[in-house]
Amino acid sequence: MTKGGTSLRIFDPTIPLPGAAGGLAPRGPIQGKRVGLLENSKRNSDVILQTIGARLAERAGVTVAGLWHKPDTLPGSPEIVEEMLAKCDLVITGVGD
Amino acid sequence: MLGVVKARKGAARTRPRVGSRGPALQSRSLEVTDVLAAIEACHRRGWTDGLPVIPPTEQAIRAMLRGGATAPGQALGQIRSIPVTAEKVAINAVMAGCRPAHFPIVLAAVRGILDPRFGLAASGASTQSATTVLIVNGPVAVSAGLNARDNALGPGNRANATIGRAVRLVIQNACGMRPGLLDRGTLGTPGRYTCCFAEDEAGSPWPGLHQERGLPSGSSAVTVFAGWGVHQFSDHLSRTAEGILGTAADSMRSLGTGNCVGGGECLLLLSPEHRETIARDGCGKQAIREYLFAHARRSLADMKRGHQRPGEVEAGDEQTLIPFVQSSEAVLVAAVGGMGGRFSAWIPGFTSYSASRAVTLPVGAGG
């Protein structure tokens, strides 16, 4: 309660999501960029990601840097993240079924 | 905005310190006209589970922190590399309706869900709609007033209802698993409102779940388990351990469950009358776990015919048996429930053993 009245002060239970304030990364031309594909073991995720990579190479002139594999849907290991940071300019991934 | 007097960013930086209160709270705050306005403000901001919450005032938050003998800045773990502090957990526990005496259990449970083995980033977000099941063992279950008997999985007990709800609100508010955003549950599940109960150690012929998982007899602990919906089964005819466990195994090898999909862990909740029959035949928890690991299996041919595995049935598939749990240790067994009905239940585990497994932690002062 605050002084002299019935009003009260309540506290925020949330923790802001990282990146929520930062928005999307800058967009620009992707021709000549190195594209990494990151699949998460969902059935056919490798097929759809490789198809997208091939289409982008064909239509947008990117280079597919490779397909990385995660054994599950948990966040990627630091090793995968470091390697993709070194070898890729942009990454395509997805979640869900 | 209706009822909101004033929002304040970083209350700690703008409020004078009061020595006896301890460190200033770091969370944003807002002033509202009265209790009903506070409840509505929480709804509007998406801080609730859809039910009304107790307004998280500083006085209530500090009482909660004292109940856990912890400082507001104490980090309990991380989600997406961001620390989850006791202060945020206390705010959510107040909102859930916990008493300060419940807070040590909430703190231990939150440490458990933030343990990387638990895999909250997946279980809290997945289309599978897993809930976080809390099983409490030891003296703290009694002192907190948790129910382990009649209706233990249902409504009617404040500790069961609010401790589970507090952890759910932490997952939603502090860990960002908000329905429709990071929580992508296809169906959701009622267990996501709350799912917490005690093991009935006093009424059990066997050691508690926490003892089986490495903690000493007489200690207090909470086990967090990511599971699907509760599968209740009836067996009013069996008068042998094998009869009851055979019924359990038959239910556990159903097509389409979490264990059929991932073959990880499962939680078996045995009621008093089933326990009495099983124990009379000389079976303990280890024998139960070994029986279910051996018998909760299904042929690859069945799995293919049931559209649980791709491909046509091939030679040898009838003889290839797929276990529905990772190992005998992946079957968690707890004594729960009331007299007057030969019902028990099992809860399928969320996805695979590598992605999510139960975590058991001691409950004590200081979170």
DSSP string, B282-338: T--HHHHHHHHHHHSEEEHHHHHHTTSS-S---TTTTT-EEESSSSGGGEEEEE---
A58, amino acid identity: E
- In chain A, the residue whose alpha carbon lies closest to the alpha carbon of B118 is A74
CA proximity to B251, closest of B289, B294, B295, B283: B295
Is A6 in CB contact (< 8 Å) with chain B?
yes
Q: Tell me the β-bridge partners of B322.
A: B298
Residue A21 near chain B (CB below 8 Å)? no
Identify all chain B residues contacting A40, using CB atoms and an 8 Å cutoff: none
Highest-confidence segment of A38-47, B77-86, B210-219: B210-219
B131-137 average pLDDT score: 97
Percent of chain B with pLDDT over 90: 87
Does residue A19 sit within a domain? Answer: no
Q: Taken in order B175, B181, B182, B188, is the CA torsion positive or negative?
A: positive
Cα–Cα distance for residue pair B25/B63, rounded to 1 Å: 13
Residue B122 β-bridge partners: none
Boundaries of domain holding A53: 34-93
Q: A1 to chain B: which residues are within 8 Å by CB? A: 57
Establish if A12 belongs to a structural domain. Answer: no
Residue A71 contacts B, CB cutoff 8 Å: yes
Q: What's the CA gap between B25 and B70, in Å, rounded?
A: 13
Place of tokens 């909760």: B296
CB nearest to B127's CB, from A10, A15, A97: A97
Considering the domain boundaries, does residue A86 fall inside one?
yes
User: Could you report the predicted ipTM of this complex, rounded to two decimals?
Assistant: 0.92
Using N-to-C axis directions, what is the helix angle for B103-114 and B86-96, rounded to 10°? 120
A1 touching chain B per CB within 8 A: yes
**What tens digit of pLDDT does each residue of B15-50 get?**
444 445 678 999 999 999 999 999 999 999 999 999
Nearest to B80 by CA among A96, A21, A64, A76: A76
CA distance B114 to B170: 11
DSSP B117: G
d(Cα A1, Cα B43) in Å, to the nearest integer? Answer: 20
Position A95 scores a pLDDT of: 65
A43 shares contact with chain B (CB less than 8 Å): yes
Stronger pLDDT, B365 or A74, i.e. the higher one: A74
Q: List b or e across B177-194, with b for residues whose CB sees 16 or more CB atoms inside 10 angstroms.
A: bbeeebbbbeeebebbbb
Q: Measured at the alpha carbon of residue B86, what is the angle toward residues B76 and B170, in degrees to the nearest 5?
A: 85
> Phi and psi of B245, rounded to 5°?
-70, -30
Q: Which of A6, A10, A41 to mutate to test the interface with B (most CBs of B within 10 A)?
A: A10
Q: Which residues pair with B359 in a beta bridge?
A: B224
B178: which 2 tokens?
């908000």
> Does the pLDDT value for residue B2 go beyond 60?
no
Map residue B194 onto helix, strand or coil: coil
Instruction: Give the pLDDT confidence score for residue B245 in this predicted structure.
Output: 98
Contact status of A4 with chain B (Cβ, < 8 Å): no
Alpha helices in chain B (DSSP H): 11-14, 35-44, 58-67, 86-96, 103-114, 120-123, 139-143, 158-169, 209-212, 241-252, 258-262, 272-280, 285-295, 300-305
A12 contacts chain B (CB < 8 A): yes
C-alpha span between A33 and A89 (Å, rounded): 6
Query: For strand A63-69 and strand A34-39, is the pairing parallel, antiparallel, or unpaired?
Result: parallel
Contact: B127, A96; criterion CB under 8 Å:
yes
What percentage of chain B carries pLDDT values higher than 70?
93
Domain count, chain A: 1
CB contact (8 A) between residue B82 and residue A11: no
Rounded to a whole number of angstroms, the distance from the CA of B152 to the nearest CA of chain A is: 28
Sign for the pseudo-dihedral over CA of B266, A41, B117, B172: negative
Residue A71 is predicted with a pLDDT of: 80
Q: pLDDT higher for B352 or B294?
A: B294
- Chain A CB contacts of B310 under 8 Å are 43
pLDDT at A20: 55
Task: Give the per-residue pLDDT at A19.
Answer: 64
Instruction: State how far residue B264 is from chain A, nearest Cα, in angstroms.
Output: 13
Please state the domain extents for chain B: 24-228+352-367, 230-349
Per the structure block, which two tokens stand in for B300?
């690859």
Chain B contact for A96, CB < 8 A?
yes
Residues from chain B contacting residue A7 (CB–CB below 8 Å): 5, 31-34
- Among A10, A12, A74, the residue with its CB nearest the CB of B32 is A10
What is the SS3 assignment for B244-284? HHHHHHHHHCCCCCHHHHHCCCEEEEECHHHHHHHHHCCCC
Parts of chain A with a pLDDT under 70: 1-5, 19-23, 95-97
